[in-house]
Chain A
Amino acid sequence: DIQMTQSPSTLSASVGDRVTITCRASQDSSGSLAWYQQKQGKAPKLLIYDASSLENGVPSRFSGSESGTEFTLTISSLQPDDFATYYCQQYRGYPYTFGQGTKLEIK
């Protein structure tokens, strides 16, 4: 299985901050990576797919990048609505696997 190691597990930040969340794959994922946002008691929302493509309707302050087996989600200027938990997911190989999540908290 491809293991996804996500960091940090918790991140405290303020409105307007630029934040970065990282996911490292145990094997080559060849760009087959998605990022999701989940708010308490809700289903996840797709933000980024294919490592760097923005899902329709997602604000442009969200972006994704890839360097080897390391993937990054960046929020350029945090908004109040962005405080949530974020997960990465690889779909390069079966079984599809997720990172353990990063909880983004208000500082």
Chain B
Amino acid sequence: SQTIHQWPATLVQPVGSPLSLECTVEGTSNPNLYWYRQAAGRGLQLLFYSVGIGQISSEVPQNLSASRPQDRQFILSSKKLLLSDSGFYLCAWSQLGGLANNEQFFGPGTRLTVL
């Protein structure tokens, strides 16, 4: 069966510090991968998605970046965090292929607080 891991679970960082969040998927190959952010009391905002190694699409301009160095690894980074970067960061995967937009499965998330 497929599993998705994210770490760390919780992070408190000062403004201006760098960020690196990691997500890995097991039990599947060549998945679509996604990074979302959910601010307190808000809906999910898609930040990045990837259909393959080294292929990253950005949905919202911001000071964040993403990379996919391996098939089942997705990394979210920032060189300098802003207060507005606080939120619940969720990684998700879905199966490639077909005409239908497939369901996505989420990792446990990282709760980031920028002070």
Same complex for A and B? Answer: no
